[in-house]
Amino acid sequence: MTESTNGAAPAPTFEAARPTFDAAQEFDLRDDLRGYRAGFLGSDDAAIVSYLDGNSLGRPLKASAARIGSFLQNQWAGRLIRGWDEGWLALPGKIGDELGRAALGAGPGQVTIGDSTTVLLYKLCRAAVAARPGRREVVLDTDNFPTDRFVLEGIASECGMTLRWIRPAHDGGVRAQDLGAVLSEQTALVVLSHVAYRSGYLADMHLLTAQAHEAGALILWDLCHSVGVVPTELDMWGVDLAVGCSYKYLNGGPGAPAFGYVRQDHQAVLRQPIQGWLGSADPFGMGERYEAAAGIRAFTSGTPPVVGMLAMQDMIALIDKVGIASIRAKSISLTTFALRLFDDVLAPLGASLASPRDAQRRGSHITVEHPTFQTIMPALWEKGVIPDFRNPSGIRLGLSPLSTSFAELWRGVDAIREELAG
């Protein structure tokens, strides 16, 4: 692959026989969203040749740097403890509503921000199994993220329940026939990922949710690898519960807090197990006994992570401005170009694809496998090319639509090609 920019050529298509650097540049020129890339810190850093790990940690927005600086000076230093009464305590619900509107298809009063993904998974899953007394099984898949599996193993042990495992295809995810084979009158809860963390498979949330409900079960969706890049309609599709992180495509920064969705009609019924003072009806009454707050605040526990919530607000606002449908269209274009690059230069070197080719079943990353990938990662990082390695032999190309360019993607795959070719 030669980085050539000579001569004029017809406008390329994603089905072009050779996905060249010229083609990548042309796609960037024709990208209606290209102007937003400049709003991310580090997007013009020459030392970072290709950042392909936005599905693990998104770049920070320049607006977030300004917001954080202003907060430190004007709110934390300027208002001190008065800030709690002047808006900080309301941030989990306020930002939750903004996220619900911009990216989740969730009406107000159903999304809260706080805790880690692991803690929120425990809280909502534990509440869900308690709401289905007499049912003794939880359904999940063997390719779900370790946190999801580990949390549910703990809950099953704690509650004397049985885990029913789905084993999805290596390059796919959970399909209707897979879920149907394990559902029964004993199923209390189904826990699935909207986009599989390894393969990038995009599950049919609407269909699988309906299946779980037909069996009388509740369903919780892990949105960590889909929120911000794949449209969801949590309310319209009747989803019961959802959890996701904010440091990937929501660009909230390392360790930014998670979010939880609890459908309106479940909020008065489900009782989350970590009864902290800020989830109580009257936190400052300092009462002797716990009484849950009304609404989504009942699913909070401790002090809101105010500093951790700052950066995600800017990305949520940007998603709202651009529109999740436009972001999804750019995501499909990027992953389609990545597949063309794989076919052209990586497959001939012995690499294999572990992701769906169908764009409608694919999130915003693809996984390519080769037995030497782990050994070449240090060399790639040294070159300023940063993809994501997943054991035992997979490199994930994570493509953030508003901060990743086609030329950047081309350069990253070309560097991988060079290392494989030796």
How many beta carbons lie within 10 A of that of residue 16, not counting itself?
A: 17
Tell which of 320, 355, 385 closes a domain. Answer: 320
Residues 167 and 259 in one domain: yes
Inside any domain, residue 71:
no
- Per-residue buried b or exposed e for 46-64, using 16+ beta carbons within 10 Å of the residue's own CB: eeebbbbbbbbbbbbbebb
φ, ψ for residue 286, nearest 5 deg: 50, 45
For tokens 């709401």, name the residue: 131
What CATH number is attached to the domain comprising 343? 3.90.1150.10
Inside any domain, residue 398:
yes
Distance CA 279, CA 165 (A): 33
List the catalytic residues: 145, 222, 247-248, 396
Distance CA 303, CA 124 (A): 18
Is the pLDDT assigned to residue 11 strictly greater than 50?
no
Residues 119 and 34 in one domain: no
Domain containing residue 312: 87-320
Residues 259 and 354 in one domain: no
Inside any domain, residue 80:
no
Tens digit of pLDDT for each residue in 52-79? 999 999 999 999 999 999 999 999 999 9
Give the pair of three-digit tokens for residue 8.
């004029």
Inside any domain, residue 3:
no
* Position with higher pLDDT, 383 vs 16: 383
Residues 100 and 188 in one domain: yes
Tens digit of pLDDT for each residue in 183-210? 999 999 999 999 999 999 999 999 999 9
Residues 189 and 302 in one domain: yes
Inside any domain, residue 287:
yes
How many beta carbons lie within 10 A of that of residue 94, not counting itself?
A: 15
Is the pLDDT assigned to residue 15 strictly greater than 70?
no
Inside any domain, residue 79:
no
Paired with 139 in beta bridges are: 164, 190
What CATH number is attached to the domain comprising 198? 3.40.640.10
Residues 175 and 274 in one domain: yes
Tell which of 268, 296, 320 closes a domain. Answer: 320
Tell which of 270, 304, 320 closes a domain. Answer: 320
For the chain, how many structural domains are there in total? 2
Strands 187-193 and 162-166: unpaired
pLDDT at residue 422, as a whole number: 85
Question: In which order are the strands placed within the sheet that holds 162-166?
Answer: 111-113, 259-262, 241-244, 218-222, 187-193, 137-141, 162-166
> Sign of the C-alpha dihedral, residues 219, 223, 224, 226?
positive
Residues 254 and 379 in one domain: no
- Using only the alpha carbons of the chain, give its radius of gyration: 22
Tens digit of pLDDT for each residue in 273-323? 999 999 999 999 998 999 999 999 999 999 999 999 999 999 999 999 999
